[in-house]
Amino acid sequence: MNRAEIIQAAAQIFREKGYHGASMQDIADAVGLQKASLYHHVTGKQEILVEILDQALDRLIADLEPIADSKMPADERLRQAVRLYLLRLTENADLAGVLLLEHRSLEAPLRTEHIARRDRYEALWRKIIRDGIAEGRFASVDEAATTFALLGVQNWSITWFRPGGRFSSAELADLYADLFLEGLRPRTNGVTA
């Protein structure tokens, strides 16, 4: 049994039962360890939660940084960002579910660190929006509100998206990107430019 397997099992349990509903015994049972043996790998649920959240955000930041910093037009970068984000959300629904729903369970000092990391991720989305405005590809919109809308629509997908369902993650990403990009187009006298 290695730490990565423990973290993955814990993510599934946290997603199914919620952080507060899950116990260290649940995690030990899932990985085939005695509860006391589990403590040789981790100190407790907060450590596990922090690792899940950090792992998820680090992966998302590593995905988005090269897109945000790319010289491609902002509308193409936004489409790529949506595709990659939805892929991440759907390829590991347990990790995504914990990231999006359980971060409030962090204790105060850990929550502050998490929020700083999350803000770094959101800043990359804002950069794409800001660049699109500067390039004239997007209407002049509030970067923060637009970023929250983009992420909110995508984040909510974890509650209903099912692999093998009506849409693949790529099809859903294209649908969302088309909606966002159409909504962001500059308008002249109320008409899309």
- Domain layout of the chain by residue ranges: 49-192
Given a cut of 70, whether residue 189 has pLDDT beyond it is no
Helix (H) or strand (E) holding 191: strand 191-192
The CATH number that domain 49-192 falls under is 1.10.357.10
* Mean pLDDT calculated for residue range 41-51: 93
What is the pLDDT, as a whole number, of residue 192?
A: 54
- Which amino acid appears at position 101 of this protein? L
pLDDT score recorded for residue 1: 75
* Mean pLDDT lowest among 21-35, 82-96, 156-170, 176-190: 176-190
- Average model confidence (pLDDT) across the chain: 93
- Residue 187 binned pLDDT confidence (cut-offs 50, 70, 90): confident
Question: Are 106 and 49 contacting, i.e. CB atoms less than 8 angstroms apart?
Answer: yes
Please tell me the distance from the alpha carbon of residue 22 to that of residue 16, in angstroms, as a whole number.
9
- Beta strands 191-192 and 187-188 are antiparallel
pLDDT above 80 for 176: yes
Tokens of 99: 């990231």
The answer to whether the beta carbons of residues 129 and 138 sit under 8 Å apart is yes
Q: How confident is the model at residue 2 (pLDDT cuts 50, 70, 90)?
A: confident
96: pLDDT strictly greater than 70: yes
Longest dimension (CA), the chain: 68
What local confidence, expressed as pLDDT, does residue 188 receive? 75
* CB-based contacts of 57, cutoff 8 Å, min separation 6: 99, 114, 117, 118, 121
Residue 110, helix vs strand vs coil: helix
Tally of CB atoms within 10 A around 137: 19
Query: Distance (Å, rounded) from C-alpha 116 to C-alpha 177?
Result: 27
pLDDT of residue 62: 97
| pLDDT tens column, 99-124 | 999 999 999 989 999 999 999 999 99
The single residue listed with the structure tokens 């992966």 is 59
Say what the pLDDT of residue 193 is. 56
Global model pTM greater than 0.85:
yes
